[in-house]
Structure 1
């Protein structure tokens, strides 16, 4: 991997200009301080700082007043994923799940050694600054790609403290079903995640699972009033969060059954599962992770739209970038696939989360060999010129 400063300076020296797509605004590389990438976009300077160079993963940024730590999952060994936390300046990296007594007990009591090998997709509980929710591979695992945190099939949900203490299972997933990408509302009183019923096809029979949360209770009693929702109809769902300042709304990705094996578009709906509305209109692109800034004024999402990708190409040909939608204008924010090494590598900009003020994002970027599996996963801090 080339050094970041070499990337930035080479782009400036060659006068490189990355063009956006459609209404997406032009992105220009600029000379940056050591350790940073910098671009000029339609909303001004946007700075990129590499937080984790090779073993990063899916992220959650704590937005309370106690601290501003970032939780992420990381491959620590073949077939093993754990959850860590880190400060946004890269200091004080800690493993949350490596030596958690509660998780270790569950691992030791499991009928085989697969239980708890994959732990990921962290979500901070929004109050107190201590609790995290994570997906944990369960005893029904078939030791396949479907148990990876990015799919959530045969994953239970656990809550534990940042130091690994007080680990408790809060949701038990039946065999062949799923718990994927959990998100709390900002009061910590409701939880949504994507779930599915058993099907041999991992893209079928998905819905949004909504529950109330009572943190004073123990174990699975913490989640009550369960509901299964399909606000956009039958198909594939992935939850992305509650909608900024719009209380009672959630965002999610959805692909109708029969549309193809990809993530088609992003939507918003009420938490009752009504009034579903498209947030993006890119039906032949891979488009997901639409998440409102804390103010609700901007919508960030990722998309393959600049690259002419179509579902028939398959995941092995996927490239995506990060976009920001403000009112009727949409701006391309990253240019990973144009600026770095598009001949030998594909860059998939995917999971991300906002900080408390809406001025920064922490973003996951999977770096793949062209047509192959991820070689490494990076996490970047994206800083906007002002809160979004």
Structure 2
């Protein structure tokens, strides 16, 4: 199918709550071709993979580009302005996440990049659950995997037992599952880790777009986010963390910017964020991430959460009402953000996703979502279908997905 996408990117989706009216998305008005040679408005249920940009994010990047220059050490006005914006972006991200005074904000490419950076700084074993995204499961040099239990209390008990039996430097845990959306109590996890002399890292890639985070209040040592999950798809993320491990580790990228003094025999490295931001940084990405954080910080997060909860409940009820459709869960009774994965009896996940796209203009994701051990333990060795909700989702989208899924199944 080679039909050209139709888009009116200047239109935006405006949310009904006035306090959130500034959270317009640039993908409004997008039309997609269908297999019958017609087209329809696109229904996006793939926010958990990459969210469309907020209009204010695009505006912030465009406003900065005419005076863009390389940051730090430049004497020209564009360099000074860009440096100021870049460092202000760092402060904005820190404020959005409620960082403590002794924590740094290091700009990275995404959460995966941030975790790999942190992995080079950890002076010991890392304990991690088997349910994690590969980005939080794979990078650690000394990894001990704990199998998650059927409920959160039992899972915390298993982590407690592991940390009591053998000391660890770090407990790494997701804030919200990228497969089921289920939320872990990160403050409780931090207390558990600290009780055993370990620090905690939180993968907040899926949590941050849906829930407010306060790193200082919850006593989180390290946390990572991705801009492309947070309505700022410009190639930047961030690692937030305590300074001592970061300053003691070798630079993540050895080169210009990370080095304070260099001879042919030895190198003195910077401390602080510069130590791990070698090379020319992605300034537009950092500005985009900060603009998204600022927009969400000024929003009515409680109203957004209420709306998301209603939409998610409507989606889950609709899926349960269809014979042969099975929503996935890790734990009994856990709350969740707007991410729902499911299987369909007798139809491969990729086939379901392709039919929803080609026949109904609905975008979902199919596969194992970079969480193979979790999908395997849930009995989904062939993967599942994932529908994820974001700022542009409304009741009509939910009903459209449920109706389309019924028709896909009925046509088999």
Same fold (TM over 0.5): no
Q: TM-score range by the shorter chain?
A: under 0.3
TM-score by length of 2: 0.26
Structure index of larger Rg = 2
